Structure 1
Amino acid sequence: MRVNLLFAVSSLLITLSSVTVADLADAEQPLSEKPNASSDEVKSEIHSVSEVQAYKTSATYLLRTPRNHNFVHQLSQVTSDVVSVTDVKVNNTDKGIELILITPNSVELQVSGKTEGNSYIVDIPNARLQLASGESFRQEKPAAGIALVTVANVDASTLQVTVVGEANAPQVELFDSQIEGLVFGVTATISTAQQPTTTPDQTREILPGWNVITAYSYTDARITQDNNFPVGNLLPNQPVHLASLWTTYIIPKGNLQGLGFGFGLTYVGDQQVDSFNTLKLPSYIRADAALYYRRNNFNAALNIQNLFDKRYFEASNGDTQVYPALPLTAKFTLGWQF
């Protein structure tokens, strides 16, 4: 409680200070230099806290510094030591996502980025991904307009971040955070197209502890106006049909209470590889499974993706590059809730 109060007071002080400096910089003549300035005039120049945008009072955002250039940033102090990236976070925003690379003591990272086709690619020298779950990170379709996010080691001292847009390359802003690390603010570039028709997830309890979850999405995303691509063509990396079926069972009582099992199927329809619709990625069905145990504050889980080791392609970067899916992958986690 005490820590939260200190952060709140600090945020308030920083906000009021920034407003005061901005007002003085914009004023033609400071009131303090006017010999006949009244107290009412002075009060009218002071902004109330409610007039300040809410995001400026957030400690997280106040401690982020935007970089001047999206692609290349030269640090004032360059280190030859290899920096470990210990965690990767993807958070949804109103514009798309923010991708955060967590480093010890929020060490700044050098970046060298470029856009290729519908992908934004960043090479980070003197850095290495070292997650508890392995040395690569991958998330499919984290937000509308974004097909794939990957973070992987290129070699022993170079890290590569790739963000693949569904139709076009996303727009990216870079921030250095004093408490997080390197932050990518990713804005998806979405073409004018028909809005998707999505059936919300449906959960049905068949028996006590046994649930079935279904979901379906229909997206007829087509080009409606463009100077380069044929009107009516489907957008790339956007399947028309998506569906999933999951069933889970948790033992409700007895000595094995809290032990659960899960099995699911995910269907992804055909996807165009480019806006000319010259080639398709074929549809696929992927099987996943889970085994988990939850009791009081303890939980453990074994998640298996691509259970039958099916080979398929999940995204593309034009007609020259496609991204194969991960093979059979298992991830084991332990947790304790305080």
Structure 2
Amino acid sequence: MRGGGIKTEWLGGLLKASMAYYDVRSRNILVYTGLDKPALAQRGAEGSHGLEVEVSGRILPGWQVMAGYAYTDARITDDIKQQNIGLRKENTPWNSGSLWTRYDFRSAVIKGLGLGAGMQYRGERIPWLSRAFLIPGYTVVDAAIYYKVKGIQVAVNVNNLFNKTYWTGAYSFFQLFPGEPRNVQVNVTYQF
């Protein structure tokens, strides 16, 4: 594994950013080879290199932000099937990213109330068993509302706010893995 990175701070340390480059090589990987006769086969080697960027911090008093982006070039570098060498690694997008922001109200009237929103993006991918199609990329939007008073916080999170149909992965055109539909989570935490 090779790589390196940098970290920096802006606005007197309120905003932090990092960027990292990596180059990872793996050998003797087991891969799934079929649905009719479930079996694993040994792949000679895979390699991936890419870039990751993250930014987090406070833009204004009460306003937090976290964002990330990753570019990954993952390829098969050695395989029993010579025609696979150089092809993209399965279920790995070129691009992915996320954004989450939260604002906590500071005025006396609504102090303790917070709102959050964000998104997750994942680019198109190749299924595990078939290279005949691409799994489409997707963007899912989430939202939340928080209320905190005297060490108790109640949070209501709505995941997949727009109830988007998306696929998290696939073996073939006939076996796709659907993402979660819209769902609501309620969390209560106490800090002492």
TM-score, structure 1 as length reference: 0.42
Total equivalences in the alignment: 156
Identity, % of aligned positions:
31
Q: Mark the CA change 1:190 to 1:296 in structure 2 (over 3 Å): closer, same or farther.
A: farther
Which protein, 1 or 2, shows the higher relative CO under an 8 Å CA cutoff with sep ≥ 6?
2
Over aligned residue pairs, what C-alpha RMSD do you find?
A: 2.7
* 2:55 aligned residue: 202
Counterparts of 1:117 and 1:335 in 2: how far apart (Å)?
45
| Secondary structure of 2:103 counterpart | strand
| 226-235 vs 284-293, greater mean Cα deviation | 226-235
Structure 1 residues 118 and 241: CA distance shift in structure 2, 3 A = farther
* Kept after mapping to 1: 8 A contact 2:130/2:172: no
TM-score scaled by length of structure 2: 0.71
Pick the structure with more helix per residue: 1
Measure, in 1, the Cα distance between the counterparts of 2:104 and 2:120.
21
2:149 corresponds to: 295
How far off is 1:337 after superposition?
2.7
The 3 A distance-change label for structure 1 pair 309 and 235 is same
Question: Residues 20-169 of structure 1: matches in 2 within 5 Å?
Answer: 117=33
For 2:116 and 2:133, the matched residues in 1 are separated by 35
Contact 1:233 1:276 in 2 (8 A): no
In structure 1, the residue matched to 2:65 is: 212
CA distance in 2, matches of 1:251, 1:118: 53
Q: Which runs of 5+ in 2 are unaligned?
A: 1-30
Separation of aligned partners in 2, 1:287 and 1:204: 20
Q: How does 1:179-258 map to 2 (within 5 A)?
A: 192-199=46-53, 201-228=54-81, 230-258=84-112
Selected match of 1:285 from 139, 147, 169: 139
Which residue in 2 is equivalent to 1:312?
Answer: 166
CA distance in 2, matches of 1:259, 1:297: 13
Q: 2:115 aligns with which of 234, 252, 261?
A: 261
Instruction: Please say if residues 235 and 275 of structure 1, whose CA atoms lie closer than 8 Å, have aligned partners that are also in contact.
Output: no
Q: Which structure 1 residue ranges, 5 or more long, are not aligned?
A: 1-114, 120-167, 170-188
